[in-house]
Amino acid sequence: MIITRLLLCFTLISGALQAQHLTTAAERYFNIIRRNLETSADSMPAEKYSFRLTPGQMTFAEWLNHATQRNYTDCAMLKSEPVPEGEQKAATLKDKAEVAKALKDSFAYCAEALKATDDQKVTSSDKVSNAFLHIVVHNNEIYGNIVGYLRVSGIVPPSTAARANQSKKD
How large is the average pLDDT for residues 129-153?
94
For the ranges 79-88, 123-132, 159-168, which has the lowest average pLDDT? 159-168
Q: Which residue type occupies 146?
A: I
| Contact yes or no for 73/106 (Cβ under 8 A) | no
Closest CA to 157 of 28, 35, 29: 35
Q: Note the helical H segments in 47-95.
A: 60-79, 85-90
Tell me the whole-structure pTM to 2 decimals.
0.83
Determine the pLDDT at residue 28. 87
How large is the average pLDDT for residues 122-149?
93
Q: Say yes or no to pLDDT of 119 above 80.
A: yes
For 6-15, the pLDDT digits (tens) are: 333 344 344 5
CA distance 23 to 117: 7
pLDDT band per the 50, 70, 90 thresholds, residue 5: very low
Q: Please, what is the average pLDDT of the chain?
A: 87
3-class secondary structure, 134: helix
CA distance 105 to 29: 18
| DSSP letter assigned to residue 95 | S
Q: Say yes or no to pLDDT of 16 above 90.
A: no
Domain boundaries, the chain: 21-43+58-159
3-class secondary structure, 24: helix
CA distance 91 to 99: 9
For 30-79, the pLDDT digits (tens) are: 999 999 999 999 999 999 999 999 999 999 999 999 999 999 999 999 99
For the ranges 9-13, 16-20, 70-74, 111-115, which has the lowest average pLDDT? 9-13
CA distance 6 to 87: 49
How large is the average pLDDT for residues 83-104?
96
Question: Rounded to an integer, what is the distance from CA 39 to the centroid of its chain?
Answer: 13
